[in-house]
Structure 1
Amino acid sequence: MSFSSEFISLLFLAIALSMDAFSVSLGMGMQRIRLKRIAIIGLVIGIFHIIMPFLGILLGKAISNQIGELTTLAGGVLLFVIGAQMFFSAFNHEVKSRVLPVGAGLILIAFSVSIDSFTVGLGLGISGVKIFLTLFLFGAASCTLTWLGMLLGRKVHGYLGTYSELLGGSILCGFGLYILFG
């Protein structure tokens, strides 16, 4: 396989793996999040999209693909729970106890959207791809698509007002269900 065909294949794979980060960030962007926080969220999700496939590549030579199904299940459940919490918190204006994209909440979100890249890393570890190129493309694509999703979510929030939290939570729940059953 030539470098250009491998690059194009890895780029498309990176974009496909980043679509969950885009979807989740679209929902998160509907919350009132400052641009500085959006930048940090994108970077953290990008870093997780480097760490998780790297761990997968390292373990791919020693671990079977059966673990991939469990990590996908865990990621889907996490996204659904975060989305459901966001959705139902829109009805309760007194207590806002949702997973916020700061601290441990940001780590949980970044982990849940990057867990599928771990399973891909398991397979890539066996195939012998260019590790640095793969990790760079995964991180760059997820960071960029996260920023794009959050900025689009911010714009949509301006049009939807209080209903944006319901829509954002629905998007997260829907994506979690898609991962679980799609």
Structure 2
Amino acid sequence: MASVPYVGELITLSFMALALGMDAFSVGLGMGMIPLRLRRILLIGLVVGAFHIMMPFTGMVLGRFLSNQLGDVTTIAGGALLVILGIQMFRSSIQKERAPVFTPVGFGLLIFALSVSLDSFSVGLSLGMFGVRTVLTLILFGLMSTLLTWIGLLLGKKVQGILGAYSEMFGGSILCAFGMQLILS
């Protein structure tokens, strides 16, 4: 029966990875309207994926430290952080779409990857407080954000920006739901 909690954790982390990747997806939709070669799209997805590994890892290390120092209070704080991030994602989805002010090349690519992965630092902080499996979390976050970035960039060539707002709303709703689950458990 030890595999049942693992499966539950895998499903939960997969949904969280999807929620975090929605930001990269929605920004990728807008960025995909810039003429980009497939090589550039490949590189952008890999860099975003790398940031979605580095940022939550840093957050998880800090979260575990705080959890060891503060105990159960950190679980509630982590849940509250997820709810706040979810609300922020939801709110930003109903604001007017912003056109990218830079191209995803060089320093602009690093800024893009950092901007779509900042929320994964906070989620990593929360997850570190909760004590989830680090390697599993980082692999799921990195893979999901890479795939969703690629999909967003490729669809951005074909689709107008209306889908981006809905995907960010969905991502924010997922983060809120998991944050409430942490607070209430």
Q: How many matched pairs?
A: 153
Match of 1:32 in 2: 35
| 1:153/1:4 CA distance change after superposition, 3 Å | same
Q: Structure 1 CA distance, aligned partners of 2:124 and 2:26?
A: 21
Match of 1:80 in 2: none
State the AA in 2 paired with 1:124.
L
Q: Structure 2 CA distance, aligned partners of 1:28 and 1:13?
A: 23
| 1:16/1:84 CA distance change after superposition, 3 Å | closer
SS at match of 2:158: helix
Q: Structure 2 CA distance, aligned partners of 1:13 and 1:84?
A: 25
Match of 1:115 in 2: 118
SS at match of 2:147: helix
Q: Give the deviation of 1:85 after TM superposition.
A: 6.0
Q: Is the 1:85–1:99 Cα contact (8 Å) retained in structure 2? A: no
Taking structure 2 as the reference length, the TM-score comes to 0.68
Equivalent runs, 1:82-93 vs 2, <5 Å: 84=98, 86=100
Match of 1:49 in 2: 52
* Runs of 4+ in structure 1 over 6 Å off: none
Taking structure 1 as the reference length, the TM-score comes to 0.70
1:130 to 130, 133, 137: 133
SS at match of 1:61: helix
Q: Is the 2:29–2:153 Cα contact (8 Å) retained in structure 1? A: yes
Match of 1:149 in 2: 152
Superposed CA deviations along residues 121-164 of structure 1, whole A, max 9, x for unmatched, are 111111111100000000000000000010001123xxxxxxx7
Structural RMSD (CA): 3.5
SS at match of 1:37: helix
Q: Is the 2:45–2:147 Cα contact (8 Å) retained in structure 1? A: yes
Identity %: 50
Match of 2:20 in 1: 17
Q: Structure 2 CA distance, aligned partners of 1:104 and 1:38?
A: 16
SS at match of 2:157: helix
Where in structure 2 are there 5+ consecutive unaligned residues? 67-73, 90-96, 173-185
Q: Structure 1 CA distance, aligned partners of 2:30 and 2:143?
A: 20
Where in structure 1 are there 5+ consecutive unaligned residues? 77-82, 87-97, 157-163
Q: Give the deviation of 1:5 after TM superposition.
A: 1.1
| 1:28/1:5 CA distance change after superposition, 3 Å | same
Q: Structure 2 CA distance, aligned partners of 1:137 and 1:85?
A: 29
Q: Structure 2 CA distance, aligned partners of 1:85 and 1:34?
A: 19
Match of 2:62 in 1: 59
Q: Is the 2:52–2:141 Cα contact (8 Å) retained in structure 1? A: yes
